[in-house]
Structure 1
Amino acid sequence: MTRPWEADPEAPFARRLGKTAKELGETKGRNGCPEIWQLGNGDVAVIGRDLTAAYAQRLPEGVTIAPDERLVVISGRMLGSAKPDIADA
């Protein structure tokens, strides 16, 4: 069975959404900074902390994580900073 949507691993990074972790004061310039990027095909890539295992047993009713998916967490400030860059539906 195919999914209605599939991620395209060939889609290039097009533009950052929001501010960098450095601009938000959420990093000390080390590896592992969260990011939100719009890809060339309009999809969005999120780099965050992988907390799949921590949340796996307490997901809300009807929420599942497929074997090829990960639950990532970014700060609310990072997402909020991206709001002006995200088009309304």
Structure 2
Amino acid sequence: MAQRWEADREAGFGRRLGKSAAELGLSDNNPSCPDVWELDNGDVVVIGRDLTEHYTARLPDGVSVGSDERLVVIPRATILAAKDDLV
């Protein structure tokens, strides 16, 4: 049986994956914008809109959001820009 994954709260930000929201034209240079970052331990952080309450009742069968998790939405352009950095 695989060991349960836990987020390392001590990991630091390593590098941005893709482009900033400003580079993608998704921002007016506001620092609170969607983003994708690789942490120094290899895990990934996604900064987006917390829409957990809006989607929880519509989750597909077999999908759930834990009490310590959030469903975060980011623009398609943000994840597509990160594609080449994800290996």
TM-score for the superposition, normalised by structure 1: 0.92
Structure 2: gaps of 5 or more residues: none
Q: Secondary structure at the match of 2:57?
A: helix
- What is the aligned partner in structure 1 of residue 45 from structure 2? 45
Report % sequence identity: 55
- What is the aligned partner in structure 2 of residue 22 from structure 1? 22
Q: Secondary structure at the match of 1:77?
A: helix
Structure 1: gaps of 5 or more residues: none
- What is the aligned partner in structure 1 of residue 75 from structure 2? 75
| Deviation for aligned residue 1:31 | 4.2
- What is the aligned partner in structure 2 of residue 5 from structure 1? 5
Q: Secondary structure at the match of 2:18?
A: coil
TM-score for the superposition, normalised by structure 2: 0.94
After TM superposition, where is structure 1 displaced by more than 6 Å over at least 4 residues in a row?
Answer: none
Give the number of aligned pairs. 85
In 1, the alpha carbon distance for the partners of 2:28 and 2:69 equals: 28
